Chains A and B, each alone.
Chain A
Amino acid sequence: MRFCRRCLYPESHPLGLTFNNDGICSGCLVHDEKYTLDWNERLDKLKKIVIPYKSATGNNYDCIIPVSGNVESFFVVHVVKNILKLNPLLVSYNRLYNTSIGIRNFSLLKTIFDCDSLSLNVNPQTVRKITRFTLEKFGNINWHILAGSSVFPVQTSVRLGIPLIIWGAHQGVEQVGMYSHLNEIEMTRRYRRNHDLFGYEADDLLSIFNNLTDSDIWQYRYPTDSQLHSIGVRGIYLSNYIPWDPKSQNEFVISTYGCKGATQKRTFDTYEHSDCFNYLNLHDQFKLFKHGYSRVTDHAVREIRHKRLSRHQAHSLVVHHELQSPENLSMFKSWLNLSDSGLRFILESMQNPLYFNTSDPLDDNFRTCRDIDKSTHNDISFDSTFLPFDSFHRKNYITIGKGWP
């Protein structure tokens, strides 16, 4: 297995990774643009891009922002409202695995920025049916979240005639350097299907081998090309115009607006995914089994590229965190009516033999970036501390939450 000589990503990264002749990955190479581009110029360009979308009469929203109870949403809304001076409609998809921190953050977001909002709440029975299928088919419990949170803003854009959708970061650019920042990549159905949804759009879930019907999946259907074209729907990413640095941005909004993170065992980052019981637990476990690395590696790579962690420090953090036992499993099993043996069976079936040479999913004999060439480690010390937060107190999903604080 080949790894980048600068960060910790393997060549098998699911988004695709290429290397230059020096063994540096495309993600690191594109990240270097953050140190060379004129970001003042790029922000000016963004301001010009959004001008035509401002409502002339003030009777409609200028844009749509997809949000959640995640801390990152605060930064996106902050930029759109306070820097771009737009009047956004916040749209969200109810993930159902909601923590009290997430509910609190989400209520705070809507209140403090004084924004209108719309939410899509698909009934839990339907979501359970879909999740049972996606869990068994490709070991993913988050398909409904990825599908819903990526399609509802587009559906709302078409229904309400608000063409502009503003997203935060493009995952492909940030992780694997899929595009240069100068390409100004925009939202596409192709990327969503290929990378967000593992090749499965809503209608692809229907099969004679499951009990899903049209009434279960229509909520996740993408609008047609002609519908998108009739409105001029366009999804842009702030990360093409602002040098994206999640740690700094999250710390800014935490101190400015009072949103909260959480301490979670499987990573050192206390800001991300505090709104979900499962993302950094069971979902993360599946990612490790299928792809040989988990979210802590994403965080570590990010901090290496921002020159806040050495490769050695990052590697140590990954080794410490990635095999921590996932939490909140009982909650998920109870929600999906899944037995211990059933979940264990699915977990074991998702183990990728490229990474596992043992049948025990919790065995320490697991090949990941712990096998990287350590001769490329450096001993320079950096500082990448994160603000401390509590772990989750309430141990039940909040399907619908209200109010803050």
Chain B
Amino acid sequence: MIKKRLSAVVNVLDGLVVQSLGFNSYLPIGDPQYVLLNLDRWHVDEIILQSISRSRKALGPDFDLLNSISDLQLSTPLIYGGGIRSPIDADSVISLGADRIIVGNLLYSDPYQLSSIVKHVGKQAVIGSVPFSSIIPFIPINYVSKRSYPNFNFLSELLDLGLLSELLLIDYNAEGYSANWNDLFSPMFPSFSVPLILFGGLTSPPDISRLLSLDIVSAVAIGNMLSYKEHAYQNLKRSIESPSLRPSFYSSVL
């Protein structure tokens, strides 16, 4: 059985790792290399490195960031998202050490580029990111333009073409806070044809365990809380008590 994943999200803003609160306000945490080395030592299942505001500022991927971490020799799978606009961007990001990439704004601004990107790097390497509002239930939001969409139908064609390996669903309002994802079970929530990674306000072990038991969910992602306490990741994993996850690990290396 393929294990499910508890992913660690690292948000980087202008070269600094930050706590992100509702895509709107940010508190400083520290330098990316030390955060990533720490997560690597904790043997997290994978790292989702989000370079935020790149698309909003039309900056493209953060190659300075990727260069700075490429020498760290991380053994943890790394997923990068932020500013990817073209196959060349995708290629460059992967050559600098990312194992997979996330495309977000591109899904709205230029979905046809996605096909070119997938041809370059392969479908398995491409994850789509869709923030949605749970306040007005399940309305997808483009965080760059702040435009909301009436439903998820704009994704249908992309999903039907098999261009995405997974979909990262982000509860826009709960990001950085605490959320109730039980409404995932609601009949109003669309059914997707690709596995889901869920992110945004997921802090409760019973909720995470319940979500991981759904066939459609391949991973749950955790962000801010990973920096609050020592071994936050391992202790959360133990509390979840899900047989679908790899066991937690406490390194004996100095």
In the assembled complex, B123 has its CB within 8 A of some CB on chain A:
no
Contact of A16 with B25 in the complex, beta carbons under 8 Å:
no
In the assembled complex, A184 has its CB within 8 A of some CB on chain B:
yes
For B228-246 the 0/1 string (1 means CB < 8 A from A) is 1111001000000000000
CB closest residue in chain A, given B43: A225
Contact of A190 with B27 in the complex, beta carbons under 8 Å:
no
CB closest residue in chain A, given B17: A16
Residue with the highest number of chain A CB atoms closer than 10 Å, among B28, B224, B252, B254: B28
Contact of B16 with A183 in the complex, beta carbons under 8 Å:
no
Contact of A26 with B28 in the complex, beta carbons under 8 Å:
yes
* Bound Cα distance from A185 to B19, whole angstroms: 13
* Bound Cα distance from A226 to B234, whole angstroms: 11
A167-187 contacts to B (CB < 8 Å): 172, 176-180, 183-187
User: When the two chains form the complex, which single residue of A16, A178, A195, A233 contacts B230, counting CB atoms closer than 8 Å?
Assistant: A233
Chain A residues with CB under 8 A of B250: 224-226, 228-229
Chain B residues with CB under 8 A of A185: 227-229
Could you tell me the dominant secondary structure of chain B's interface residues? mixed
Contact of A199 with B230 in the complex, beta carbons under 8 Å:
no
User: When the two chains form the complex, which single residue of A15, A176, A188, A227 contacts B227, counting CB atoms closer than 8 Å?
Assistant: A188
* Bound Cα distance from A190 to B229, whole angstroms: 10
Known A183-B228, A195-B30: A190·B38 in contact at CB below 8 Å: yes
Contact of B234 with A190 in the complex, beta carbons under 8 Å:
no
For A208-227 the 0/1 string (1 means CB < 8 A from B) is 00000000000001101111
Tally of contact residues, A, Cβ under 8 A: 38
Contact of B27 with A30 in the complex, beta carbons under 8 Å:
yes
User: When the two chains form the complex, which single residue of B27, B33, B251, B254 contacts A178, counting CB atoms closer than 8 Å?
Assistant: B27
Q: Give, as a whole number of angstroms, the nearest-CB distance from B118 to chain A.
A: 35
For A146-185 the 0/1 string (1 means CB < 8 A from B) is 0000000000000000000000000010001111100111
In the assembled complex, B1 has its CB within 8 A of some CB on chain A:
no
Q: Give, as a whole number of angstroms, the nearest-CB distance from B106 to chain A.
A: 27
* Bound Cα distance from A195 to B227, whole angstroms: 13
* Bound Cα distance from A237 to B41, whole angstroms: 24
* Bound Cα distance from A201 to B30, whole angstroms: 16
In the assembled complex, B207 has its CB within 8 A of some CB on chain A:
no
Chain A residues with CB under 8 A of B34: 190, 193-194, 199
* Bound Cα distance from A104 to B107, whole angstroms: 67
Contact of A187 with B230 in the complex, beta carbons under 8 Å:
yes
* Bound Cα distance from A172 to B19, whole angstroms: 13
Contact of B227 with A177 in the complex, beta carbons under 8 Å:
no
* Bound Cα distance from A26 to B41, whole angstroms: 29
Q: Give, as a whole number of angstroms, the nearest-CB distance from A151 to chain B.
A: 12
Chain B residues with CB under 8 A of A404: none
Q: Give, as a whole number of angstroms, the nearest-CB distance from A67 to chain B.
A: 21
Tally of contact residues, B, Cβ under 8 A: 31
* Bound Cα distance from A233 to B230, whole angstroms: 9
In the assembled complex, B29 has its CB within 8 A of some CB on chain A:
yes
Contact of B28 with A226 in the complex, beta carbons under 8 Å:
no
Contact of A194 with B27 in the complex, beta carbons under 8 Å:
no
* Bound Cα distance from A225 to B232, whole angstroms: 12
* Bound Cα distance from A325 to B12, whole angstroms: 39
Contact of B29 with A178 in the complex, beta carbons under 8 Å:
yes
B180-200 contacts to A (CB < 8 Å): none
Contact of A186 with B230 in the complex, beta carbons under 8 Å:
yes
Known A203-B254, A224-B252, A225-B250: A178·B28 in contact at CB below 8 Å: yes
Contact of A226 with B254 in the complex, beta carbons under 8 Å:
no
Known A184-B228, A188-B229, A229-B234: A179·B254 in contact at CB below 8 Å: no
* Bound Cα distance from A222 to B41, whole angstroms: 13
Contact of B26 with A18 in the complex, beta carbons under 8 Å:
yes
In the assembled complex, A283 has its CB within 8 A of some CB on chain B:
no
Known A16-B16, A194-B34: A189·B251 in contact at CB below 8 Å: no
CB closest residue in chain B, given A154: B230
CB closest residue in chain A, given B235: A229
Q: Give, as a whole number of angstroms, the nearest-CB distance from B31 to chain A.
A: 6
In the assembled complex, B108 has its CB within 8 A of some CB on chain A:
no
User: When the two chains form the complex, which single residue of B13, B18, B38, B230 contacts A228, counting CB atoms closer than 8 Å?
Assistant: B230
* Bound Cα distance from A194 to B25, whole angstroms: 22
The residues of A with any CB-CB pair to B shorter than 8 Å are 15-18, 20, 26, 30, 172, 176-180, 183-191, 193-195, 199, 203, 221-222, 224-229, 233-235
The residues of B with any CB-CB pair to A shorter than 8 Å are 13, 16, 18-19, 25-31, 33-35, 37-38, 41-42, 224-225, 227-231, 234, 250-254
16 contacts between A and B (CB under 8 A): A15-B30, A16-B16, A18-B25, A18-B28, A26-B28, A177-B28, A178-B27, A179-B228, A188-B230, A189-B230, A190-B30, A190-B34, A194-B30, A194-B31, A194-B35, A199-B33
Excluding A176-B28, A194-B35, 5 further A-B contacts by CB distance (< 8 Å) are A18-B13, A18-B18, A183-B224, A224-B252, A228-B231
In order of increasing CB-CB distance, the 3 nearest A-B pairs are: A16-B28, A190-B38, A194-B34
